[in-house]
Amino acid sequence: MDFYSRFLRPIFFSLNAEEAHDAVMSLLQSGSRYPGIIRIMAGPQIPPNQRKVAGINFPTPIGLAAGMDKNGIALPAWEALGFGFVEVGTITSRPQPGNPKPRLFRFPDHEALINRLGFNNEGVEAVASRLEGLRSSGNWPGIPVGLNIGKSKVTPAGAAHLDYLASFKRLKGLEDYFVINVSSPNTPGLRDLQSTEALGRIIRTLRDWEGTPSKPLFVKVAPDLAEEDLVEIVKLAEEEQLAGLIATNTTLDHSAIPDDQQQQGGLSGKPVRLRSLRALQIIRQHSKLPVIACGGISDGASAQERMEAGADLLQVYTSFIYQGPALLRKLSKVT
């Protein structure tokens, strides 16, 4: 039993899921000033296993998925815990509180979560200012930092491309890579932006403003897409010369959860494993673009199956909540 499982998890799991999340983030924000202490508490360090993907050097292929550190408040802590990269967000152009509470639910028997958070974040101006301050302080982490951007809830679908552009412009230069998030199930109409027409408009709007791309741009897709729709996104990514895809976001398939425990929102954790794996396999059948695998990666077997299916990098979130830093050591043995 490691320190997290023996001491910290029982404390955090005595709180409701969102209270625990807020407590963890507050501790990691404070701990970011003393990363050496976090390294000691995290246990044995992850051995280097460098990968170069989309022109970026990743010290290990195991990263933190978006959704945990929505506002970029604990970047040095994630490096100290052993992550090879971290993805901040989802960030929207406007501050927004998200959906009404309660909106985050644990299912320990399934090592799963359901969330309907709704892109709660401080907005692009606050996040950009914080990241600028961290850079100027000299404490910027030595691991790649991705910035995941989404549509503000109040923005009409027809203006989505301009909303993404506003966030993209303000954050430009602070990222190692960008992610266009059009796959969360918790913002009304967001998944409609996965149509090639809408997604293409977003991508071209960012490209037209940027000119020659200076940093990689990824798109995060849903695990619930029909195969033909996912193939169309892959074709679009190839045509637009994107850096790659992230497969996948949370699922609306709650069949693994008993009826009397159901909640609205996106399901993550072990139950999404096969859907996310299938999305990766479909992408790899049609493209050699880099793929960051995400969803249901919770042990050596699930990590190895993604690597064998053609993933270039892995991301975790829900399994980290349940297992803590020991998960990273477990995954590092097979990647």
**Which residues form the catalytic set?**
184
Contacts of 47 (CB under 8 A, 6+ apart): 60, 332
Q: What share of the chain is helix, strand, coil (3-state, %, to 5)?
A: 45, 15, 40
Distance CA 243, CA 237 (A): 8
Cis peptide before 92, with omega less than 30 degrees from 0? Answer: no
Q: Are 256 and 112 in contact (CB under 8 A)?
A: yes
Q: Which whole-number Å values give the CA distances from 38 to 66, 101, 144, in the listed order?
A: 21, 30, 19
Closest CA to 69 of 54, 89, 53: 89
Q: Are 5 and 50 in contact (CB under 8 A)?
A: no
Closest CA to 65 of 43, 84, 93: 84
Distance CA 84, CA 177 (A): 14
- Which amino acid, one-letter code, is at 243? A
